[in-house]
Structure 1
């Protein structure tokens, strides 16, 4: 199954190499006219573009899919310092914080599986551990719908693309310090400077240190990150960028699972927002090391070849405490909970190589764009578990725990519980054909060879698949500044879970359809999208067990496996989004989404996902030195059907306010208040346990520009 695709990759490499060789005489003729050491790299810095949804250099107006962009100014103004907070305010995206340190994201009803940096990544996870910082990025793009042209794998939900802060042409820098509720303390620094007098080489340094307590009892969090990127000119036409990022996130007093929010008589519990089931010895620490090298060859004015290599190392170590029940929590006594401690050490290494050729050409009196590429990626992961020799016991009445009810257990030596070696080879391409001045046709393909060799707690997760994803899109500018568009793509997503037969569940397959309108104004964009997505064999959690079908009365083997079943789900809906300036002093980024989801029986599916959401970020500058603003996030009710009854979260609205004032030139003071009305709500009801979101919080910060 692999030989045809491997031959295709070799052939594609040969085509790209051949093209570059044929372009060399052209370069010799044009080198003095188009490129000099002082022009090429500075022009690239000033006009960096993202591959977006199609892999082509197309802005949001011309892209035949929904696209939300949160830039660095918005991130800073509204205090969107971590990716959970940012995505919670992104139209069409939902954030399920099932625990303090593990988070799922979904769009259009399905989990987002692709998280990329500068358009490159591996779509191999639906779960994010730790709290990723956004200060590293110039902007965050959320491409909704199918990501078939970006990775060839995934759900028809969307892709989150982090765009790195890169060196600038001029010296710039700022530092920011902030303090706030629950012992929040944070310091930031961001400096970019040319390294040569001509500006042909430059570097950018970014750093953050933050620490805080939490509204959740026992919970404390520390974060440290640093990044350095250097880019410059090797020759008149050859550029080089290289960078390294390290991010550490350490948490104590963490939730593994959450609160038992349903009693065994079917009534729903109500606790203070600070309630925790954690013990004082628990921790969950993560580290991420990311390095990249990017070599760019400007073949001509219209063509550029880019080769990128990335190497990522992720490590995680934890000592955790879980509570469960065989009989359910008694509403009168608070008894019925049992303890389950665990200790784990995980690591993952990723290597990604990508070669991409982009350019434009003229034919039939029109200018057209092309994107061709090949990539190879490998992910190797290991998960070590330490059996707890003590710490399993009936728990006292809940709530009211202090975190000392179960002493830190004695853990056995580690053993290799699971490992995975994943290889992904890909050939991809897209072309924008200008049929007329106002009508564009976008065609794309993605051929993928995917192999997984792995074992999870003694059960093989091996799979070997080949597949391809076609993409068809069209945009038609009906009148000046008004685009009608439509797109289609299909896609499949490998799933590393066990089915009811304790065998690999296999891949989910999906399709994505979208039609819409986009209206551009002088400095804003209004878009309306109608979408339909389909997913077959989608994993749905069923139970924990050992595969024998017997509900054991102790902990011994009921948690051996997480067992899933495959379901067929269809979703359809409508999204409307506005981004830009309303007046010279008023700007708005807002969106609303309506979603309908059904399973193969025609019943409501994935009911933990809201059907209606509204997001808004509003800024107003009444005077030159003063800017104020407000944020709003609303969703309708959601629920989860547990074994003891329905867990429900009613609709809620979260309001925020911000303001910043330039005290003197280059010195600004800012105040951010979130959850102004002190709304009480669950972070998620994706599972039968839940915990509460943050109550009202406030942050005061000072920024110095230099």
Structure 2
């Protein structure tokens, strides 16, 4: 009776989860999904997908490696005994095949055969065993699962590396991408307890953080500011990784970071790279995942992530993520509350068509919000104050909201061809009320800082993004080739209002009075400006097999941009320009040394619009243009479980706007200044990157990257003052063997060389920060098959340092002191 009750309990559990998710999704996405598309959902078995035709181009090589690659490309699970494949070679497979016929080609001449299982996967064993023998072989502990249906998805992989990237339009492995690219996986984020994009980027190879205005910041890679952010490969998303709205990572499977020029993806931008956030999608099985955490400074967080098939056939699937965080900061008087709700539905409209629709709502309320950090001594030295010192008034307030709606339609034509149409709509903004303290402090008198201004700001942003593409492969001239063509469009509309009350009240920065001024009433807006930024373009790329070991990658994009800014108070145009048909080419070569190692080189153009600056003849300046050169070697070892790379790069950016001193005050038509400008300045950056990610040995994961970079302008000054010459980011975790297998331990270090630069507000004074190494550790204990406890200890040795430097008067931030976090995770 007990045995018969188990299926009933499981069915009841799945039905309950599906019902709960269905109601939650309905509440979140009401009006997003019409009844007609859902009525088209058909009841077809997932097994049919495994039998669809796909194009393969897998060269001969070690059998285990070729099986692993086949499993990834086909999206199926393969199981086999490592003894059965040891020292065996495969002839490879090329052309259009089903999973079964492709496996037969791979196994030709090996004496092994693939037997289909009920779950759609295959067991590889000696040709001709009985069903009982197959079942027995599949149960052997030495059977190795080499591929799963998740493709590029990292969730539940347990890995610190990705099998593939999707930041370009063609899904391809890290090794096959002729640029430096990192995949920050779900497992890595969970192990390190990284809950915001800010925290994730702080672990990314080569990324450093620098200060911007009013509490925001940006990341810098290879000496240039990172300004290209995508979600599921679609640009035009209002998401602010700068601190105004911390991007919650609970809804994302992975973060892909491309270093170097990304003009082929988005057009205009700096040659720093691009960041692609990939959302979690519904799973095919029912699940409920819970994460409860508590940490230093009253940091409490709850996450619930639940999903299930919503019909008996499994052709309609849903997922909901709910999170809430309430925390104080290590700085005085600062507290934030951040609720998040995310829902997504995936529907198979037919055997070859999938529709995905979802929505997100996120809020961020911060009391005691600080916008400019600390000042410095007037001689450039750091202030002798506690790390918890905050210059905020206790009524400082920051309220931000973000709403996001997205949809994606994918159709698979067969023979490896597919079309994808993706769209995002989002709106967000914030209201800000802050007292601003600034001013360099005289070391002798301890005076100089003032409560300078009471500042009010409202920002509302609406954004649209659409991307349509077709990808596929074909055989020609004895090789296998892949192509992608598409177009994208994005528009961002923004309204910015500001007002202020000048105060200039002296402040004792060593004993801050957080109630020095009563909470003010906002005066009339003094700035009220509308901005519209519209970009669109067409692109094409190809991966051509010139010979079996040599691949040529070509790409090009033609971009257009319209930008308009209007003062709503006066009706005057503050900026108005258009950039037409800007062409950005891309080229790369990948040479396979063997089944594990490849050499590569690549070139890409960049451009940045400068139409707000006028030349002496009254015409807008032409764009700043750049070139990105890169070469290196990549390795994919242990059947793709470990990725290694070494890259050298050189970047040049020409024709930047410089002041035309012969025509000062002669360009009254300029929308930015009355002075004239000319194209002239050049920026240069060069360096070396090394990276390793994945499994070094069974149970031992690593993610490590070292960067050496030097960047200079025409005068020899660094173009990014906060970018150190040497930067190391390394993390590792190890699952203990044997009787201690329930325990996983890990550690991390972030180390960098010192740097110094002339203060922007007094170039005769030098500011700087010495070299440092900050160590973290973590440990997790698996209590049973459902519950895991985890401990994270950050800044283990309580290193005192500044994480960001701004100027003498403002913008300097202490790094977080030692902190402890305790988590309890459950998979129900």
Deviation at 1:98, TM superposition (A): 5.4
Deviation at 1:232, TM superposition (A): 1.0
Contact 1:663/1:669, CA 8 A, preserved across alignment: yes
1:359 is aligned to 472
Equivalent of residue 625 in structure 2, options 499, 502, 509: 509
Contact 2:320/2:341, CA 8 A, preserved across alignment: yes
2:90 is aligned to none
Equivalent of residue 177 in structure 2, options 63, 71, 79: 63
Contact 1:428/1:444, CA 8 A, preserved across alignment: yes
Contact 2:169/2:469, CA 8 A, preserved across alignment: no
Contact 1:231/1:239, CA 8 A, preserved across alignment: yes
Q: Does 1:660 align with 2:747?
A: no
Q: Does 1:271 align with 2:385?
A: yes
Deviation at 1:244, TM superposition (A): 0.3
Within 5 Å, give how 1:319-334 maps onto structure 2: 319-325=433-439, 328-334=440-446
Closer/same/farther in 2, CA of residues 355 and 206 from structure 1, 3 Å limit: same
Closer/same/farther in 2, CA of residues 357 and 687 from structure 1, 3 Å limit: farther
**Greater Cα shift, 96-105 or 573-582:** 96-105
Equivalent of residue 814 in structure 2, options 692, 695, 698: 692
Closer/same/farther in 2, CA of residues 105 and 130 from structure 1, 3 Å limit: same
Equivalent of residue 609 in structure 2, options 452, 476, 494: 494
- 1:483 and 1:224 map into 2 onto residues whose CA distance is 45
Q: Does 1:96 align with 2:218?
A: no
Within 5 Å, give how 1:199-218 maps onto structure 2: 199-218=314-333
Equivalent of residue 557 in structure 2, options 431, 443, 446: 446
1:26 is aligned to none
- Partner SS state of residue 331, structure 2: coil
**Greater Cα shift, 686-695 or 496-505:** 496-505
Q: Does 1:223 align with 2:223?
A: no
- 1:195 and 1:126 map into 2 onto residues whose CA distance is 34
RMSD of aligned alpha carbons: 3.1
Q: Does 1:681 align with 2:797?
A: no
Q: Does 1:530 align with 2:640?
A: no
Contact 2:284/2:309, CA 8 A, preserved across alignment: yes
Deviation at 1:334, TM superposition (A): 2.7
1:635 is aligned to 752
2:150 is aligned to 46
Deviation at 1:459, TM superposition (A): 6.1
2:197 is aligned to 83
2:511 is aligned to 400
Equivalent of residue 608 in structure 1, options 722, 734, 745: 722
Provide Cα deviations, 1:136-187, integer angstroms capped at 9, x if missing partner. Answer: 1101110111112211121111111101000011112210101110000000
Deviation at 1:99, TM superposition (A): 7.3
1:145 is aligned to 260
- 1:84 and 1:63 map into 2 onto residues whose CA distance is 25
- Partner SS state of residue 149, structure 1: helix
Closer/same/farther in 2, CA of residues 324 and 396 from structure 1, 3 Å limit: closer
- 2:632 and 2:237 map into 1 onto residues whose CA distance is 27
1:434 is aligned to 545
Provide Cα deviations, 1:261-311, integer angstroms capped at 9, x if missing partner. Answer: 132x45442321111211111112221111111111212231111111110
- Partner SS state of residue 748, structure 2: strand
Equivalent of residue 386 in structure 1, options 499, 520, 534: 499
Closer/same/farther in 2, CA of residues 266 and 142 from structure 1, 3 Å limit: closer
- 2:247 and 2:657 map into 1 onto residues whose CA distance is 26
Deviation at 1:539, TM superposition (A): 8.1
Provide Cα deviations, 1:658-683, integer angstroms capped at 9, x if missing partner. Answer: 00101222111110000011111112
Runs of at least 5 residues in structure 1 that lack an aligned partner in the other structure: 1-29, 542-546, 549-559
2:459 is aligned to 346
- Partner SS state of residue 336, structure 1: coil
2:742 is aligned to 625
Deviation at 1:100, TM superposition (A): 8.5
Closer/same/farther in 2, CA of residues 497 and 587 from structure 1, 3 Å limit: farther
TM-score by length of 1: 0.86
Provide Cα deviations, 1:377-418, integer angstroms capped at 9, x if missing partner. Answer: 111111012343xx6132233221121112222321335522
Closer/same/farther in 2, CA of residues 117 and 45 from structure 1, 3 Å limit: farther
- 2:176 and 2:645 map into 1 onto residues whose CA distance is 11
- Partner SS state of residue 61, structure 1: coil
**Greater Cα shift, 501-510 or 278-287:** 501-510
- 1:69 and 1:500 map into 2 onto residues whose CA distance is 43
1:257 is aligned to 372
Provide Cα deviations, 1:314-359, integer angstroms capped at 9, x if missing partner. Answer: 211100222334xx43223332233111111111111112211011
- Partner SS state of residue 776, structure 2: strand
**Greater Cα shift, 668-677 or 292-301:** 292-301
2:529 is aligned to 418
Provide Cα deviations, 1:556-588, integer angstroms capped at 9, x if missing partner. Answer: xxxx99x99985310000000001111112111
Q: Does 1:521 align with 2:637?
A: yes
- Partner SS state of residue 511, structure 2: coil
Contact 1:98/1:684, CA 8 A, preserved across alignment: no
Query: Whose RCO is larger (CA < 8 A, sep 6+)?
Result: 1
- Partner SS state of residue 495, structure 2: strand
- Partner SS state of residue 150, structure 1: helix
Equivalent of residue 358 in structure 2, options 238, 243, 246: 243
- Partner SS state of residue 187, structure 2: helix
Deviation at 1:227, TM superposition (A): 0.7
1:552 is aligned to none
Q: Does 1:34 align with 2:34?
A: no
Equivalent of residue 294 in structure 1, options 392, 403, 408: 408
Contact 2:167/2:233, CA 8 A, preserved across alignment: no
- 1:371 and 1:405 map into 2 onto residues whose CA distance is 60
- 2:518 and 2:614 map into 1 onto residues whose CA distance is 35
Closer/same/farther in 2, CA of residues 540 and 102 from structure 1, 3 Å limit: farther
Contact 2:377/2:443, CA 8 A, preserved across alignment: no
Contact 1:359/1:371, CA 8 A, preserved across alignment: yes
Runs of at least 5 residues in structure 2 that lack an aligned partner in the other structure: 1-47, 54-75, 77-97, 99-118, 121-147, 154-163, 660-664, 667-672
- 2:415 and 2:713 map into 1 onto residues whose CA distance is 51
Deviation at 1:473, TM superposition (A): 0.6
Contact 2:236/2:464, CA 8 A, preserved across alignment: no
Q: How many residues align?
A: 652
1:551 is aligned to none
**Greater Cα shift, 120-129 or 211-220:** 120-129
Closer/same/farther in 2, CA of residues 538 and 401 from structure 1, 3 Å limit: farther
Closer/same/farther in 2, CA of residues 290 and 497 from structure 1, 3 Å limit: farther
- 1:603 and 1:413 map into 2 onto residues whose CA distance is 42
Q: Does 1:158 align with 2:176?
A: no
Equivalent of residue 370 in structure 1, options 483, 488, 494: 483
Closer/same/farther in 2, CA of residues 64 and 113 from structure 1, 3 Å limit: same
Closer/same/farther in 2, CA of residues 462 and 98 from structure 1, 3 Å limit: closer
